[in-house]
Amino acid sequence: MAQDSTEGSLKERGVRLTRQRQILLELIDRTGAHLDVDQLYRMAKERDPKINRVTVYRTLKMLKAGGLVDELDLMHYGGDQHYYETRLKQEHAHVVCLRCGRVEEFFGEPLQRLRKQIESHFGFQILVARTEVGGYCAHCQTLRAREVEEIRHESKSVAKPPAAGARTRRAHARPE
């Protein structure tokens, strides 16, 4: 049972801890993963087959508004849905490989430095910050180079080099 600060935080605000919410909270907080609505919905369904997708949306919206989860896009790799993660973790950037979909998290002082500079530069009060980076991971750089090479061979002469940011939209490809 997830008896962490998230649930406490909700109780304080008089938010009801329904069975559905407990399930969703536990999934988000415990896995610490980047889950989209569909994944979350299916996982929740294993524990409560009657749960509705709409409840997942509503719960996430509430958690986001309450500053308990962060909403990510992960560079829209894999579609236009959103991904969610706990805010219990320390602030970090998301580094998404546009070829394999793997997502790395970067914690490091440049992030805090950036945050502070923005706050002092504009006199801005930051509530949420999001850094997402897309490109090729170490592994895929090599594979990518090979692919480009092959293409250049196939179309012997007028080799239109594949556009830099081009990405195949393979629905819900799993990293790895």
Partner DNA sequence: GTTAGTGCAAACCTTTTGCAGCTCT
Partner DNA sequence: AGAGCTGCAAAAGGTTTGCACTAAC
Looking at beta carbons only, is 125 or 168 nearer to DNA? 168
Looking at beta carbons only, is 25 or 137 nearer to DNA? 25
Give whole-number Cα distances, 145 to 75, 104, 130, in Å: 22, 21, 30
User: 53: helix, coil or strand?
Assistant: helix
- Partner whose binding site includes residue 143, from DNA, a second copy, none (CB under 5 to 8 Å by kind): none
Least distance in Å: CB of 49 to DNA? 9
Looking at beta carbons only, is 18 or 117 nearer to a second copy? 117
Nearest CA to 73 out of 63, 65, 85, 61 is that of 85
Q: Which of residues 115-154 bind DNA (CB under 7 A)?
A: none
Query: Does residue 88 belong to the site contacting DNA (CB under 7 A)?
Result: no
Which segment (76-84, 86-94, 119-127, 135-143) binds DNA by CB under 7 A? 76-84
In angstroms, the CA 140 to CA 149 distance is 14
Structure tokens given for 102: 């793997």
Q: DSSP letter at 76?
A: G
Least distance in Å: CB of 136 to DNA? 21
Looking at beta carbons only, is 46 or 126 nearer to a second copy? 126
Which spans of this chain sit near a second copy (rule: CB under 8 A)? 13-14, 64-67, 71, 73, 75-76, 93, 95, 97-98, 104, 106, 108, 110-111, 113-115, 117-118, 121-138, 141, 158, 160, 163-167
Contact between 86 and 4 under an 8 Å Cβ cutoff? The reply is no
Nearest CA to 98 out of 129, 67, 69, 132 is that of 132
